[in-house]
Amino acid sequence: MSFSTKYRLVKLNEVAAVTSDRVLPFDGLRAYIATADVQDGDIVGKTDITFEGRPSRADVLVKTEDVIFARMQNTQKVLQINAKYSDYVFSTGFAVCRPTKQILPDYLRYWFLSDYFNNLKDSYCTGSTQKAISNSGIEKLIIPLPSLETQRKIVLLLSDVEHIKKLRLQAEFRMKQFIPALFNKMFGNPAFNEKPMENAKDQRYWNSKNWKHSPTNRREFYGDEIEWIKSDNI
């Protein structure tokens, strides 16, 4: 895939200004999303709240295609708002950016996930206890803005990479579950020898009473049959 490398650096608020939509009185329950409820680009938890009983931080409204990021320093939490999430109430710990027609929401989300953006964001964080970026700090943030065509190509490329990464994480998770289960099925719990197996007594392989590391200066241990593997060979 080829795409133009031409772009211009613009202020973030020129293409995706921070919104200040606050919660208005509502009846019944609404889902509240704290910063801790967002992980890996998705919502993993929520709390039902009433207007009168809501936490003081439950005061941010969003719209479909908004892209939000956590304001706290050293915190990478990014979420693109879909139709389902648009009715949720979010924490003031999030900055809500509303893309204009100059920028694709997906492109903006990937930019918020980049190390460059997060390092820049962290450099503008202030505060004595938990440092976070304010709206005035966000006004200083910049973003590279290529053409919409190039943005689409970048999004397509990064979405493929993101998909492969998720598949790899799923494979690693399943492997961690599969290997112990496989050995347990084959041999049982080795602590209890559930599937009785003979103890090897052939001391050509080891001496269970007086086992020691073989010294590497013993020439009789060298030959064609056994390869020496030392820690510095790995």
Where are any strands of DSSP class E within 19-93?
30-33, 38-39, 42-43, 47-49, 58-60, 67-70, 78-80, 89-91
Domain check: are 138 and 152 in the same one? no
Residue 3 — φ and ψ, nearest 5°?
Answer: -150, 160
Reported as a single tens digit per residue, the pLDDT across 202-224 is 555 445 455 455 566 666 666 66
Tell me how far the alpha carbon of residue 74 is from its chain's centroid: 13
Reported as a single tens digit per residue, the pLDDT across 178-192 is 777 766 766 677 666
Domain check: are 153 and 174 in the same one? yes
Average pLDDT over residues 136-161: 95
Domain check: are 88 and 16 in the same one? yes
pTM of the model: 0.71
Residue where a domain terminates, one of 178, 194, 210: 194
* Residue 95 located in a structural domain: yes
Number of structural domains, the chain? Answer: 2
Domain with 163, as residue range(s), is 147-194
**Structure tokens belonging to residue 92:** 């003031």
Coil vs helix vs strand at 107 = helix
Euclidean distance between CA atoms 7 and 66, whole angstroms: 23
Percent of the chain residues topping a pLDDT of 70: 75
